[in-house]
Amino acid sequence: MFQSLFSTKYNYFYNIYIVFHIRTSILLLSGLVLGLWTSWPGIVIPNNWKCFKDMIEKSSKE
């Protein structure tokens, strides 16, 4: 089915389809990264994760 749908006759539409999905994926991924970075700028620093885990452990003990 897809072979006949995306044959050389419809190669232009297939290229548009691929570009649309690549663009959508890039926009979603960059939105996710920027959203996480905005809410917690030090998310990539391992020491901040240690601090986060310590806070969770302290709150669970209380």
Q: Domain count of the chain?
A: 1
pLDDT confidence of residue 23: 94
DSSP string, 8-61: GGGHHHHHHHHHHHHHHHHHHHHHHHHHHHHH-TTTT-HHHHHHHHHHHHHHHH
Domain of residue 10, residue span: 2-61
**Segment 6-44, tens digit of pLDDT:** 556 667 778 888 889 999 999 999 999 899 888 888 777
Judge contact between 37 and 43, C-beta under 8 A.
yes
Give the pLDDT band of residue 3 (cuts 50, 70, 90).
low
Residue 19, C-beta contacts closer than 8 angstroms, at least 6 positions apart: none
| 3-state class (DSSP) for residue 21 | helix
